Structure 1
Amino acid sequence: MRSVFALALGLGAGVLVGGYVIRRVDRATRAAHPVAVADRAGRAAGSLTARLATAAEAGRVAAADREAQLRRAYDVPPLSELPAPTAHR
Structure 2
Amino acid sequence: MFDQISIVQQIGLAVLFVATVAWVAGLARLLRRDRFEIAAWREARRAGTLQAHLDGIPRQSVPHPVERVELTAEEHEAFAGLVRGLSDKR
Judge same fold: TM > 0.5, yes or no: no
Tell which structure's C-alpha radius of gyration is larger: 1
Structure number having the greater strand percentage: 2
Q: Which gives a bigger RCO, structure 1 or 2 (Cα 8 Å, sep 6+)?
A: 2
| Coarse TM-score class (shorter-chain normalised) | 0.3 to 0.5
Structure number having the greater helix percentage: 1
